[in-house]
Amino acid sequence: MQRLPVTGSSVAEATELIGFQNIYKAFGAVEVLRDLSFGVRHGEIHALLGENGAGKSTLMKILGGYHAPSSGQVLLEGREVHFRSSRDAEQAGIVLIHQEFNLAEDLTVAQNIYLGHEPGGALIDDRAMLRGAREVLARLKVDLDPARRVRDLSVPQKQLVEIAKALSRQAQILIMDEPTATLTLRETDALLDLMGRLKSDGVTILYISHKLGEVKRVADRVTVLRDGRYIATDDAANLTQDQMATLMVGRELEEMFPEQAVPASDLLLEVEQLSVPGWAQRVSFGVRRGEVLGFAGLVGSGRTESFEGLVGLRRHTVTSVRVAGRPVRIRSPQDAARVGLTYLSEDRKGKGLLVDFPLAQNLTLTTLDLYAHPLLDPAAEHRAMVRAARDSNIRAGRLDVTAGSLSGGNQQKLALARILEADPRVIVLDEPTRGVDVGAKREIYHLIHQLAQAGKAVVVISSELNELLGLCHRLLVMHEGQLVGDLSGEQLNEQEVILYVTGLKSQCPAGVSVRPGAAGASG
């Protein structure tokens, strides 16, 4: 591993590879990190925990060369380093995998993996690039054509390309910021196994995650930050998940999932024979008033694509759609909103928010007719934002900032508030807690519960099985574009769901309607 010139003397313990000493970082008047000190040992998987806004990503961007500390020292093997850019950090063997994608959409998978490091120099060796991309994807156990354009990939596939891109740099210190946020159970298992192999090869991994079960499984030690300050470092084996959560939020968390109420008997949404070319075939289901209905399945199973088709974002065919018993025709998201059906995309920054626009403009984006008569009423828009910030607990220093300045959890709550502005009857939430900390997750779970109690029908698409099992009255499982299971009651357990998700078990032949109470049709 090539080292940059270093200055200063050895002040860290001999066992430490990385040392943070009195790190302070401010952006203008906003203090993000305050007098923060701790160390990371050589060859360990070190988890960094904290609520959104705790300073985790900022600290890792300092280590990765994207920011310089306002004061304090970063040490490598006991010696101070100063990185002027991420390329400087890469030369020192440090690579950061960003939480948000940093890919060139119009280039291929292989071109993205080797972007800026193309084999062959001026005369790029395309064959070597494809061969190298296949090798690094094979290490991840990812079946992905390196010649595919990135713009044609799903969100989870893009995340895997980001990871492959980092591994191709031969990193000795790998920073992973929420790497499993968009991955399914199988893909997550493969990644965590890969992390273990990299650790065995001597790679040091700094791992930011809100999934405390994964942290317990893979991390050697855990450091907790809160409000930009260092709180504690301990062996992961010494901490329960509840103890980790308490350290993160500074208080005991109440029950994560609220107690479910019994749904009504009437159907608010009925879908018959929905097909999306290349993704889903003859999907039929119903959702009751007051019901939280989950959709489970592996990436590529057709969950997201089915609902993108339903709301007019993809080409599709459907025999019939009924909302509150009335037949409707949906050709666009605007049509869907008019009949009381709204969809929150899994791609929060790409499709959910305009991150460079103010909060109020994001909130009223799809309901401008309520605030323009015909000219826009900024005072009414501001009052709506004040109300949404209160009701959804959107934490921002000021309400005149841009959406991009919010933490991930607060961005997600803003996106949720936006789709609720139109007072929909049926709400579809695709990966509603991706990249969200444990405290914000609990708030979103309780908001979903409140929506169901208010008589809405809520559909939750999620790759987090514990989330689906804790939230949902009923769970529909998709496999290879078809509904294969309708699970409720005692069937709602991890072992049973995995059998359906992986295609080892099926109860619903192609084209059979899946409605409340239809579970157990056939083995």
> Measured between alpha carbons, how far is 24 from 143 in angstroms, rounded to an integer?
43
According to CATH, the topology of domain 254-340+424-523 is Rossmann fold (3.40.50)
Residue 78 to residues 11, 13, 24, 71, 174, Cα–Cα distance (Å): 6, 7, 19, 17, 18
What was the pLDDT predicted at 449? 94
- Cβ pair 141, 190 in contact under 8 A: yes
Number of Cβ within 10 Å of residue 399's Cβ equals 15
Check if the beta carbon of residue 47 is closer than 8 Å to that of residue 236: yes
pLDDT, tens digit, 9 for 90 and up, residues 348-387: 666 668 888 889 988 988 788 888 878 888 888 899 999 9
Q: Cβ–Cβ contacts within 10 Å for residue 144, how many? A: 17
Span 491-512, mean pLDDT? 77
Which letter does DSSP use for residue 284 in this model?
A: E
**What DSSP assignment string belongs to 1-50?**
------BS---S-TTEEEEEEEEEEEETTEEEEEEEEEEEETT-EEEEE-
pLDDT tens track for 107-156: 999 999 998 888 877 778 889 999 999 999 988 778 899 999 999 988 77
pLDDT of residue 72 exceeding 80, the answer is: yes
**Which pLDDT band holds residue 464 (cuts at 50, 70, 90)?**
confident
Architecture of the 1-93+170-250 domain = 3-Layer(aba) Sandwich (3.40)
The answer to whether domain 1-93+170-250 and domain 254-340+424-523 are alike in fold is: yes
Strand partners, 504: none
pLDDT digits (tens, 9 = 90+) for 7-55: 333 333 447 999 999 999 998 877 889 999 999 999 999 999 987 778 8
DSSP H or E run through 76: strand 71-76
Give percent above pLDDT 70 in the chain: 92
Q: Rounded CA gap, 234 and 239, in Å?
A: 8
The residues spanned by each domain of the chain are: 1-93+170-250, 102-168, 254-340+424-523, 353-422
517 has pLDDT over 70: no
DSSP-derived secondary structure letter, 178:
S
Tell me the pLDDT tens digit for each residue of 468-494: 999 999 999 999 999 999 999 999 988
The percentage of residues in the chain with a pLDDT greater than 90, rounded to a whole number, is 49
Instruction: Give mean pLDDT, residues 449-474.
Output: 93
Question: What pLDDT does residue 515 have?
Answer: 52
Query: How far separated are the first and last CA of the chain, in Å rounded?
Result: 56
Q: How confident is the model at residue 419 (pLDDT cuts 50, 70, 90)?
A: confident
Owner of token pair 């010494």: 238
Helix segments in 152-267, DSSP class H: 155-167, 185-200, 212-218, 241-249
Kindly state the tokens that stand for 296: 């489970």
Q: What's the half-sphere exposure (Cβ side, CA atoms, 13 Å) at 496?
A: 16
User: Tell me, what DSSP letter sits at residue 516?
Assistant: T
pLDDT of residue 5: 34
Kindly tell me if the per-residue pLDDT of 317 is higher than 90. yes
> How far apart are the C-alpha atoms of 35 and 192, rounded to whole Å?
32
Give the pLDDT band (50/70/90) at residue 302: very high
pLDDT at 405 over 90: no
Nearest-angstrom CA–CA distance, 299 and 333: 23
> How far, in Å, CA of 418 to CA of 267, rounded?
25
Structure tokens at 413: 């709550």
pLDDT in tens, 85-99: 999 999 999 999 877
Q: Which of 94, 114, 79 is nearest to 1 (CA)?
A: 94
Residue range 396-417: average pLDDT? 84
pLDDT reported for residue 350: 63
DSSP string, 346-376: S-IIIII--TTSBHHHHHTTT-GGGTBSSSB
More confident position, 203 or 347: 203
pLDDT top residue among 194 and 322: 322
Question: Residue 251: which pLDDT band, with cuts at 50, 70 and 90?
Answer: low
Beta carbons of 265 and 288 less than 8 angstroms apart: yes
What digits encode the pLDDT tens for the residues 197-240? 889 988 999 999 888 889 999 999 999 999 899 999 999 999 99
Q: Is the dihedral of CA 384, 387, 391, 396 positive or negative?
A: positive
Band of the pLDDT at 1, cuts 50, 70, 90?
very low
Helices (H), ranges, 392-508: 408-420, 438-453, 465-471, 494-501
Contacts of 79 (CB under 8 A, 6+ apart): 6, 7, 8, 9, 10
DSSP code at position 507:
-
Tokens of 280: 């889903």
